[in-house]
Structures are given as structure tokens and as C-alpha cells.
Amino acid sequence: MTLQPIRRALLSVSDKTGLIDLGRALADRGVVLLSTGGTAKALRDAGLDVTDVAEVTGFPEMMDGRVKTLHPMVHGGLLALRDDAGHVKAMEDHGIAPIDLLVVNLYPFEETVSQGGDYADCIENIDIGGPAMIRAAAKNHAFVSTVVDVADYDVLLAELDANDGQTTLAFRQRLAQTAYARTGAYDAAVSTWMAGAIDLATPRRRAFAGELRQELRYGENPHQTASFYADGTGRPGVATAEQHQGKALSYNNINDTDAAFELVAEFDPAEGPAVAIIKHANPCGVARGATLLEAYRKAFDCDRTSAFGGIVALNTALDEETAQAIVEIFTEVVIAPGASDAAKAVFAAKKNLRLLTTDSLPDPKAAQLTYRQVAGGMLVQDKDTGHVPADDLRVVTKVQPTDAQMADLQFAWKVAKHVKSNAIVYVKDGATVGVGAGQMSRLDSALIAAKKSERMAEAMGLDKPLTIGSAVASDAFFPFADGLMEAAAAGATCVIQPGGSMRDNEVIAAADDAGIAMVFTGMRHFRH
């Protein structure tokens, strides 16, 4: 039977949003309402006639509400096959009435975790009866409609209106799929939290889940389908941002915007404005400035060609002056922790530019897992949150870096962490002046970065490249002295790198011969 009427509904929700309107709408359609605890009270306080589940089961809620719906009178009503004579007889023999609609949303476990709940609080917010009912009702979707999202309340009512108080099998199947995805995501959140709570770095089983945020027109290329899912962590970024204008973000926009915002978050706003310009997930310009406008112009001057059609990320709220400078060229996306009304007005005239704002910056030191699919499995690792304190940096050359050079070295090191390997980053006066990314050899990256700087100097009418007198960072050690010598030839006067090569002594000797200061971090930042 494709169409199934809704005559009796069980509502038990943690999130009461839209509950009263839904309850009224169902009651107006002649649906009998069953409910539990706070949900029943809210419906009753709104003047609706509600039967407590305790009346149906003959047992009161007990153990602080841990046990209330785990009973055959509930699960029999959800699981019984209406077209099976044996099931129907069992219902009649035991006085079990069918439940045609289940509306449940779960205890706020994810919210409790995100708000820093302690172990006991998190455990207490693991829902048991809710997932059990959802799974039962979804399994019996041939007869039962299962609603787990507030967003589906109006969808449900529209379905009932279109089918004279009934639901179609196709509709119930879609609800069931959503229901199982929700319980799966819930269990994934619990298992992931528990692994962290008990310091289990490599649990034997892992679960991954997400909630659809956006259907995308296509993936990296037009022949690929794609979608964007939020993981529920609430980390500031694209998934939590408000989009103020412009067309929907694409797959590549989202990927690049994430890269840009994570990079600019490395620079504490308390130490001054910073701007990162990204193209194809690699920075083409990063800078600090006395003002946000100055930071943007310095970042832009690193590679004006690549900045065209790029992503701009700011570590402070966007102001009008900076907005005016950004719109001088075509920019895909701007993301910032806030924007003034005047800045929004500047962007309003550029309909293809997307402006995203967040409440804050992501914490670059916050622990997080990253995932990458490979054939037949997933690679899982800690997010690269590595930071080397200034006191842990080790000068290995005869020449000592000046304070200004050390500041540029540390700046370059932060940027190199976000550049695809092999990464070489030249920095001068708090701004990148050359970036070499994603090459198969470190020497090639050093050459490319220097060549880009030469071209920018020509375009800007300068008599020499900005790499003259710069600091250079390498995301991994120099295996030979040739990459270091290329940086020196480009004008670099100091270098920061992890160290650890079998030929470190040769590289240090080459730096000493060239009169270059070199600092070892003891930490690598590969980014593939």
C-alpha cells in the first residue's frame, strides 16, 4: 500500500522549535497526539490534548527520564506490519495501537561537546530512547513516517495536504534515509568524542558523518557532481559563515576560501591586521600592515597576476577603504570576521563577488582531525597545528639574524605551513614577496618564487626584485645546498627550515660561506 494515513503520532523532541505549530496542525487534521516529558508539557500548555506515553505503557518515566519509551507498547506500535496477519493479531492480543508518525529530535549531545561539557554531562546527553524509536520507525517506513529534522515539519504538512492526510511511500523512504543518517551522525559524534575523551588516538573503528549544507552545481570540474556537508563542530569558516551577496559558492570556492581563512587565522588580530590572498588553495600574497588596507596592498603586490579571480581572507572586520581596494580587480570571495555596513555597500555593486562573514577566526592551535579518501579507505591524521615558540628556534650559522629578520622568518614559517609542498616562501617587511608551491623539487620552488618576484618588480617599475634582503622559509629541510644557494642568489639574507637532513652540515657550511643566517625549527610542514 503506497498511501498511509496519519492517525496517531508520537512527538518527543529536545529542540522545541516549531513544536507547537506542528502539534496544532496535526491536531487540526484529527491526529491523536502522544508525547513525553517536556514535550507533552509544552503541547499541553499550548492548549492541545496530549496523551502521555506513560499512560500508554502503564509505566512512569523513571531513572531521571532514562527509561520512558523503551517498551513494547511503543515499539510494537512503530514496528508492526499492518499487512501481516500475525502482527495485527499480536497488536490486538496485547492492546497495542499503531503509531503512524514519529517526530523525534535527539538530546543535544553535539552542542554539549562543543560547549565544553565535562565527561559526565556528555554521557548524560547521549540519547538512547530517541535513536531506538527512530531506527524502529524508519525500518517500518512502509507504514510509518519518521521526522527527525525541524526543517521537515512544513514538508510533512504539505505532504498531508497533498494526499488527504496521507503520506506516499516515496516520501516515507526519503524520511527514513534522513532518519538513519541522523542516528548515524549522532553515533559518529559520540564515538569520536569518546575516542578523544579517553585519549584513544587510533580507535579500531571510526565513523564519519555530516549534514548537507549546500548542493553544488558541480565539483572541481563540470562533469563531477558535488555537495558540501557541515561536520557539526562549529569551527569558524565557510560552513558557519553568513553569505551576504553573490551567487552560490562552488566546490573550488569553498576549498580555496577554507584555505585562505585558515591561513589568515595564523596571524593574531591583536598584533595587527593581516590579509591572505589565495588561488587554487595556495597563497599568492600574505601580509601584515599598520592598517587593513596596507596589509591588502602589500599582499596584492606579491603576485598581482595570480590575485585576479582569487580569494581574499582578512583577520579583522572588513572596512570601507579596504573594500574599495579589493573591488579594483575581479575577486571571487572575501571572508572576514565581520564587515562594516559601508564595506557591504561597496561590495553591493559587484554582484558576482561573494562576501562571507563569521563571528570569529578559527583557532589555529585547536585540535582537529583531517580526512582524505584513498582507494578502499581513509587517511586520518591530526590537523597540522604545529607552532614553534621563538625560544625553541635554533640558530645554526655564524651569522645571527637581527630582530627584524627573525620577525620575517617567523612570518614566512607561518605562511609556508599553508603552501603546498615543496614550499619556498620569501618574506620582506611582513609581506610575502615570492611563493613557490607544489613543485617536485625544492630547487624548482625556489626558482619559481624568485622568478615571480622579478616579474612583479618589472610590473611595478622597481629596479630590483623584492626578494633582495628577504627572509626565506622552506617547509622541509634542504636535502642539498643548491636550493639554499638559489635563495641566496635571489637576495635572501636569512633562512628558516626544519633541519634534519643527512647533509645539514653541508647546507650550514654553504650558508656560512654566503654570509646567510639560518634557523632550524625541528618541525616539518609538508602539505600535500
Q: By CB neighbour count within 10 A (0-12 exposed, 13-18 middle, 19+ buried), where does 48 fall?
A: middle
Quote the cell numbers at residue 372. 582524505
Angle at 254 between CA 252 and CA 258, to 5 degrees: 120
d(CA 415, CA 136): 51
pLDDT at 163 (0 to 100): 95
Q: What's the pLDDT at 333?
A: 96
Average pLDDT over residues 103-123: 90
* Assigned C-alpha cell, 87: 502482527
361 has pLDDT over 70: yes
Per DSSP, what are the bridge partners of residue 395? 519
Arithmetic mean of pLDDT, 59-70: 67
Give the per-residue pLDDT at 54: 80
If one looks up domain 237-357 in CATH, what number appears? 3.40.140.20
Among 66, 178, 69, 215, CA closest to 126: 66
Percent of the chain exceeding pLDDT 90 equals 74
State the amino acid at position 89 in one-letter form. K
Where does the chain hold its CATH 3.40.50.1380 domain(s)?
4-198
Q: Across residues 369-374, what is the average pLDDT?
A: 85
- Sign of the four-CA dihedral 443, 444, 445, 448: positive
**Model confidence at 446: pLDDT above 70:** yes
26 confidence band (pLDDT: 50, 70, 90): very high
Residue 62 has pLDDT above 90, yes or no: no
CATH architecture of the domain 4-198 equals 3-Layer(aba) Sandwich (3.40)
Task: Label residue 66 by pLDDT band (50, 70, 90).
Answer: low
- For residues 35 and 99, what is the distance between their CA atoms, to the nearest angstrom? 12
Task: Give, in order, the Cα–Cα distances in Å from 364 to each of 12, 45, 253, 328, 474.
Answer: 39, 47, 21, 31, 20
Q: Where are the domain boundaries for CATH 3.40.140.20 in the chain?
A: 237-357, 391-520
pLDDT (tens digit per residue) in 199-219: 888 888 888 878 888 999 999
Active site positions, annotated? 139, 280
Reply yes or no on whether the pLDDT at 261 is more than 90: yes
Q: What is the pLDDT at residue 521? A: 96
Model pLDDT for residues 340-354, shown as the tens digit of each residue: 999 999 999 998 999
User: For position 68, what pLDDT does the model report?
Assistant: 63
What pLDDT, on a 0 to 100 scale, did the predictor assign at position 64? 66
pLDDT at 417: 95
Side chain identity, residue 352: N
What is the residue-averaged pLDDT of the chain? 92
pLDDT digits (tens, 9 = 90+) for 224-241: 999 999 887 889 999 999
| Domain made up of 391-520: CATH architecture | 3-Layer(aba) Sandwich (3.40)
* Mean pLDDT computed over 469-480: 94
Which residue pairs from 434-442 have beta carbons closer than 8 angstroms and sit at least 24 positions apart in sequence? 434/302, 434/465, 434/466, 434/467, 434/470, 434/490, 435/282, 435/283, 435/284, 435/285, 435/302, 435/303, 437/282, 438/282, 441/483, 442/474, 442/476, 442/478, 442/479, 442/483
pLDDT-derived band at 243, boundaries 50, 70, 90 = very high
Least confident window among 1-15, 49-63, 99-113, 265-279: 49-63
- In this model, does residue 247 exceed pLDDT 80? yes
The answer, yes or no, to whether residue 478 has pLDDT greater than 70, is yes
- pLDDT over threshold 90, residue 96: no
pLDDT in tens, 136-184: 999 999 999 999 999 999 999 999 999 999 999 999 999 999 999 999 9
